[in-house]
A and B are shown apart, each in its own frame.
Chain A
Amino acid sequence: MSAAGHVTRAELAGTVLGWTARGAHPLVVGNGFLSREVMAAGDGDHVLYLLAGMGLAPAVAAGLSLARGVRAVALEGDGNHLMGLPGTATIGLTGVRLTHVVHWNGGWESTGGQRVFGPGRVHDIGRAFGYATTEVVTEAATLGAALDRSAAADGPALVHVVGAMGDPVPPRTGLTMPGVARRFQVWLRSAEGDPERAVQ
């Protein structure tokens, strides 16, 4: 159910999952409840869940983008984002084609709901580090359009999605890092995941 002034984790996961699947964008998801939520939203072979490497989802996506020359997408919560700020700096300074989505709910929900920081202005960090575009999304209905605009950016784009604590939590998945990585590699080698093959 949609809520005024913020986007639920389920809305975010469903929208990002659908948008990346339609555009054949590789999606790297940080650990924590967001991974569970994307899995619950339907999952996909184009999704890499970082069950290890907290804070590093954007950097993994950046390496993928540099290697392939495609727009990759990273989705992470605010705890991951704060831990991985050197990755955000690197992405901004190198200008890779990346859509970087941060769900800012104001705390570490998966570790017990510790509320440490306020609403945040994470989009300012993107601007400071040289992201091509940054914007804030507070309503689920506008998220798809924001993702569309990010894809047109000439470089990295940061989408700050305002969330809130207390959303229902999907169950833990039975995924393993090697299993997810192998599935993701198969998709990257497929016609859908490899633009060079797709145009042949």
Chain B
Amino acid sequence: MNGTATPLHGTAAGGTVVSVLVEIGVRRAVGVPDSQLAGVLAAVSRRLPVTFAAREDVAVAMAVGAGLAGEHFAVFMKNAGLGTSLDAIISLAAGAEVPLTLVVGWAGAGSDTLPHHVVMGCRTVPLLTAAGVGHDIVGPDGGDASRLLAGSAAARAARRPYALLVEP
């Protein structure tokens, strides 16, 4: 599908993401839908309540409120949403010391060569790194669930934000 369409992610990635989220104690997923994450969201919605937000920073803020109340909400978004939620991630969530778990659709990477996706896709990892968000990649085959779980759990234990970067 080079450069012409955004592929829906298969069930392998969805299964991995769900297993990680459930294992680290996520009770709800909140975020903005993304075509890249459609398969993942379908899998998540079979195990967890899902709340849709109008914008990504709203979802981050809702996760912060829940986190202060002792509940763990995961936040899902397309990578473009990292731009609109950057302040909420690096000042609000970090300031409130609420560790975020993000599920990010990585548009503009791998088989997705749409120019308006690539412009963000090539900057996604540097942006996460600059924002102090740990991350690992969930490939189309679901990747190594045990490694992803270890990374997510370690970040949470250290009260640091962490992103599961879902690759096309």
Contact = CB atoms under 8 A, between A and B. Distances in A.
A181 B58 CA distance: 18
B64 A178 contact: no
Given A66-B62, A86-B53, 18 more contacts: A52-B87, A53-B87, A59-B58, A59-B59, A60-B61, A60-B65, A63-B30, A63-B62, A63-B63, A64-B68, A86-B57, A87-B54, A89-B54, A90-B53, A176-B95, A177-B91, A177-B95, A177-B96
Interface of B: 27-28, 30, 51-55, 57-71, 73, 87-88, 91-92, 95-98
A34 B157 CA distance: 35
B92 A53 contact: yes
B65 A67 contact: yes
Interface in A166-200: 176-178, 181-182, 184-185, 188-189
Contact of A94 (B51, B55, B64, B98): B51
Interface in A65-118: 65-68, 72, 84, 86-87, 89-90, 93-94
A72 B92 CA distance: 18
Contacts of B73: 63, 66-67
Interface residues of A, number: 36
A90 B73 CA distance: 16
A86 B67 CA distance: 20
A61 interface: yes
B87 A63 contact: no
Contacts of B67: 63
Contacts of A182: 97
A66 B28 contact: yes
Nearest to A54: B87
Given A59-B58, A178-B96, A185 B68 contact: yes
27 contacts: A28-B65, A53-B61, A53-B92, A56-B57, A56-B88, A59-B53, A59-B59, A59-B65, A60-B62, A63-B62, A63-B63, A63-B69, A64-B66, A64-B69, A67-B27, A68-B69, A68-B71, A90-B54, A93-B52, A93-B54, A177-B92, A177-B95, A177-B96, A178-B95, A178-B97, A181-B96, A182-B97
